[in-house]
Structure formats: C-alpha cells, structure tokens
Structure 1
C-alpha cells in the first residue's frame, strides 16, 4: 500500500529533525570557540567542546565524529596560542582530557554503528517474516475488490498476533480476520499456524461451519504439540476469528463469528453491524461448541462493502479514555474505494489516539463489484 500523506509528512518531519540534530555538534563547537574568545580567561570552554564530541558520536558517522574531535582539540590549541598559555600545565592537562574524549567518541561511534547494523538486519528478518506470514491480500479476487491495513502499536514492530487473509475458492471469496490472545513470539507462531490452516482448508471445505471445524482442529493439534510449556500457555492461546464468504453468483455474504467483533456492512451510506445470531467461542476453545457453528446471512450487492477489523480498532481511546466510535466515523467514508476508506481510517485512528496506539490493529475491506476482473 502506498504511504499515506501522514506517513510522508512524518518522514519529512523526521528528515528535518535529523538535519537539525546533525548540526548540533558543530553548533556546540562554535559556542565553545565563542566562549573561549569572549569570556574571561578563567572560564574554560571544555564542557562545550566535550559535549560536541559526544553528540557527534551519537549523531554523525565515523568521519564526522573524527572531524569534530580534531576540531575540538584544534579549537583548544588555538585558544592556548591566542592567550599565550603554551606553558600552562593545567591547559595541557585539559587538552589531554579532550584528546581522550575524542578517542572515546570515535570508539563509541563505531559501537553504535555496529548496533545499528545489527538492528537493521533484525528488522530485515522481521519484514521477511511478515511477508511470509502476513502477506498482502490480492487487490482483486473475482467479483471482490480488497484492501488491508495493519498498524503495530510499537513503532519498531512489524508483525504481531493480528492476522487476515483472503482467498478465491470454488465457493467464492473467503475471508479470515483474527486476533491471537496475548503477544510475543508464541502469538506470532499461533497466527502463522492459523493462516497456514486457513490457506489449506479454504479451498475444499464445503461451507463455513466445516471450515471453522477444520481451523479448530488445526489449532487444537497445534496446542497439543506443546504439552510441556509452563502454565499451559499454548493451550490457553485462543484466537478470536471471523470467517466470511462472498459467493460469486449470489448477492449475499455469509459469516461465522468465533468470539470476534462483528463486521460492518456499508450499503448506500448506511452502516450496519452484522451481529451474529449465535456466536461461537474463539478457536482453540472448541470444547465449548455444542451445536456446531452458526452461519449468518446478509445481503451483499454490487457497491456494498464489508469491513472486518480486530478489537484494536474499537478499543482505541482518545485522551479522555473514550473508545473509538467506528460505525459513526466510517459512515462518511462508506462510498469510498477500499484503499481510500482504509486511508481515512488509518489517519483517523492516529489522530483520535494522539499517535499513541495501545494495541495492534488490523482491518480488511471487501467491496463487491458487478463484474469480475481478469486480474487476480
């Protein structure tokens, strides 16, 4: 997905801040020189020269750090010559201290550079894992246009326990959105397991109840493979999920809710929650299902849109602690194309929360078209 105007604005703002910070060591060096020239001789500029070298180590590449270190020592030597302090033992002691700080700054800069390189490698691996586990959904499947959104609560994160998928099957387009209980590596593993099971079962399960049973079986088997985990953490790792099916030839949408927030149906400016008549428990809690999975049916005509989302959307809070009113907010965007609708939602969530998301967020929009596209 192309970057939103907010993301481009954040990038420009970060670039401007970066340029200002990069100028800080030179500014401190200049302040040290001015203090040395225009203040009484007993006032030393050592603190500003040392601060210039330390800030250079954190903000500049190695060559810049070395240049600032040489500059700081040169400024101090120049002041010694200017004030005829070449025979002052204290001045030489201070020069030695500044030289040691310059060497330490260069060493510190190298260490930071190595850590930054390691972090870059880790983030690269994380992005590769995201593409393998939570890959982008196709823009068009049969009669359906699709768009997805994923926002991590932590700026450094790339993937978590929220998940989604869309597949074109002999029974129409089948959608999945889910949210793994908890966070961390185990949540990511559970999400990957569920996505793998859905991608396999969605093609041949004859209906959504059978598909939900297949997913429940897969997650139960996954949990049983880790009987020795302390506190039975795997066994307690349930997943709220919502399954949807949009047949190619029928203007309807079928849904099965497994402890997940209800989707929103957007129709001619109206927004309606598709509340399940008989909701089922989350996946990996199949022992609580007594009468099987119940399918809910709703009209879904060309131009209608279905918004699936995780609870991170509706549990986003503003500064006063009020939850995000999704149905109310999305009404004014209901006629927009899927990617524009999610762009609006993205910007609005960031603005509503003041840029402080407390949970991961995933959303998936499906819009029915009157004719299929050949592009898959």
Structure 2
C-alpha cells in the first residue's frame, strides 16, 4: 500500500523541484544583495516547503542541503556581514521540525490510503463487479457516492441469473452512512438467494420485505434508531422463454425508462410501498406487471440522486428531455454504456458536481444474438 505522490509529470515525481528552486533562488539572491540586507536565513523555508510535498527522506535531504548551503554562502561574506550562529540554529531547528512535520503528514496519508482501501473493498463487496453479458444482459452502471471519501452509500443494484430467468434489482435506502450500507448489503444478499431460487417475482419481493423487517428489528434491539428506516426499489425479471417482456415490481421508486432507437417511454408507475412499510396496507406487496419490450430497447434505472439533482437556480435535472434529445440525435445512444455515460455526465454537469445524495445510474438490455439468452441453472453467484 503506497501513499499518493504529489506533483507527478508523466508518471515521474517532480515534488523536489519547488524546494530546490527556492534553495537556489535564495542563495543567488543573497550573493546579489548588499551586506546590510542578507537573505540567506530565508533558507529555513526550504525544508518547510519540502515537508509539504516531498517524502520524509526527501525532506531530510533538503534540511541537510539548507544547512550546508547556509554555511557555504554565509562563510563567503566578510566577517562583519556574516549572520553567524543565531541564524544557523534557526536553520537547523527549522530543518528538524520540517522532518518531524513530514513524518506526521506521511503517516496521515498512509492512514487515509488504508481507509480508502477499506472503503473500496466494502463497495466491491456490496456492489459486486458484474461480468460482461451477465445473465444474458448487456449492462452498464455508474455509482457516485455523495460522500466521496466513503465511496459507498445506501444505493444498491445487482443482476442475478437463475433457472427462472434473470432478475435485476436497484434500490435506495432511506438515510445515509454506514447504517444505510448495512441495509443495502442485507437486501442484496436476500435478492441473490431469492432471485435465484424463487420462480415467482412476487415471492422474491416478499423475501425482500421480510429481510427488511428482520434487519430493522435486529438493529432496533441493539438500541439503534432504525425503526422507521425503509428502502425504495425496482425489481425486474426477464423470463427464460416467451416473447420479449420484462416483469416489474416497484417499491415506491421511480419506474425505469425504456430507451430505444424509436425514443423514450416511461414504464408504468408501481403501486407498492417502499420495503419495510408494507404493513401500512396490510402486508400487500406491489403488483407484478408484464411490460412488452421493443427490439433494441434499454431499460434505464436510476435513483433520486439523478432526478433531484439541482442547478444553481434550483431547477431539477431534466432527465427525460435530455435522454430524448440525445437518442433523437443519435439512436446509438440507447446502448447501456452510452446511456449511463450520458446520464452520469449530465447529472454532474447540471449540479456542478455538488451531489447532495448518492447517485446511481444502471442500464440493462437483453441480448438478442443466438446463444446469449439468460443463464439457466448453474451455481450460485
């Protein structure tokens, strides 16, 4: 695990250039000033600059160079103009303090790198990498955490192939932070099991609701204030055989957009409450709808980080309008990869890069070539 190096040009570190230029500049300036105005004592700044941008050994080298340069330049002046021992002590003490400060800085950088490594491992565990064409679907995803350093939040998505077709889940846990990540991980684990074993998409939805309630009950028993936590989600199913359709259950979430060469159409709104709130309507789950798909259509799923992105004037990101214009100008934009890039870049551009919520864009499209049907059977993933 290496700390990030500052001031790199074409892969090579040039962090040594500023302190070296300052060292030379101070020495030259001192030679070209009168004896009444000496600048050599300013050389104490050199190890201080090195401590901010160089490594520990680099800072130590500049501390030594500062002392040597000071002695050489100062001794070249007549005795009456020499700054003498007081300034030498200043340069020596300044170099020592600079090295100590650099040690503290480098340790902090290593600690940060370690934390970022942990966050990245957590993200890859919750949002596992998906192989190309997984489950017979072309897919692409972009995940932008509102907490840049944490790199993971309450948004989640996955694809699970199985003997009854391929299932897709995208959701958004209410709230932020590690507690939201816990809920996302719990729901994804249940989805990966139920999405593989259950033949009926409504049963998969019921498993997700049960898991949400179980997780919430455990955290409440631990004394955490999670009694009102819920998650919105979209659950899709692509059957093994039959006409090109998608089964869809919506849990209080924005329905997907079907984007194809012919344009953009919104899929029907769902009637289900968010996961964890079914008891408000007597544990009645969402209706599973079957929606025909046109050839070449991509299903675009997204969280509210996209639809609620605002510009400086407070206007929401016009997702449908922007996608419609892009597809009209170039029907090839409807491919998952290009569609996700379009929405991700548009969201960042519209919000000026100021994300107030986790933002996920996920696009899937059934493969139509021979031999690229959804996986049937096989081992659990």
The interval holding the TM-score normalised by the smaller chain is 0.7 to 0.9
| 67-76 or 56-65: bigger deviation | 67-76
* 2:155 corresponds to 1:162: yes
SS in 2 for 1:136: coil
2:21 is matched with 27
2-side partners of 1:191 and 1:40: how far apart?
70
Q: TM-score, normalised by structure 2?
A: 0.86
Deviation for aligned residue 1:95: 1.1
- Provide closer, same or farther for how the CA distance between residues 54 and 258 of structure 1 changes in structure 2, counting only shifts above 3 A: same
Task: Give 1:356's aligned residue.
Answer: 354
CA distance in structure 1 between the aligned counterparts of 2:100 and 2:7, rounded to whole angstroms: 26
Give 2:57's aligned residue: 63
- The alpha-carbon deviation at position 166 of structure 1 amounts to 0.6
CA distance 1:48–1:207, shift in 2 (3 Å): farther
- Asked if 1 retains the 8 angstrom alpha-carbon contact of 2:141 and 2:362, the reply is yes
Q: Between 332-341 and 99-108, report the one with greater CA deviation.
A: 332-341
**Greater alpha carbon shift after TM alignment, 202-211 vs 237-246:** 202-211
Q: Does 1:338 align with 2:336?
A: yes
TM-score by length of structure 1 reads: 0.87
User: Is contact 1:53-1:72 (8 Å) kept?
Assistant: yes
Q: Are 2:30 and 2:40, in contact at CA under 8 Å, matched by a contact in 1?
A: no
Does residue 97 (structure 1) correspond to residue 94 (structure 2)? The answer is no
Cα 1:241–1:369 change in 2 (3 A) is same
Alpha-carbon distance between aligned partners in 1 of 2:159 and 2:84, rounded to the nearest angstrom: 72
In 1, the alpha carbon distance for the partners of 2:323 and 2:37 equals: 63
- Per-residue CA distance 1:320-363 (angstroms, 9 max, x = gap): 33221111222315633322322333333333333332322112
2:229 is aligned with 1:237: yes
Deviation at 1:153, TM superposition (A): 2.5
**What residue ranges of structure 1 are gaps of 5+ in the alignment?**
1-10
Q: 1:52 to 1:268 in 2, by over 3 A?
A: same
Query: What does 1:200-211 align with in structure 2 at a 5 Å threshold?
Result: 200-211=193-204
Listed one character per residue, the Cα deviations across residues 232-255 of structure 1 (whole Å, up to 9, x for unaligned) are: 522222111111112232211121
CA distance in 1, matches of 2:75, 2:238: 83
Alignment match, 1:127: 120
Mapped contact 1:235–1:284 kept (Cα < 8 A)? no
C-alpha distance in structure 1 between counterparts of 2:343 and 2:41, whole Å: 49
Matched pairs, number: 362
Aligned match for 1:54, one of 48, 58, 61: 48
Mind listing any 5+ residue stretches in structure 2 that lack a counterpart?
A: 376-381
> 2:275 matched to which residue of 1?
283
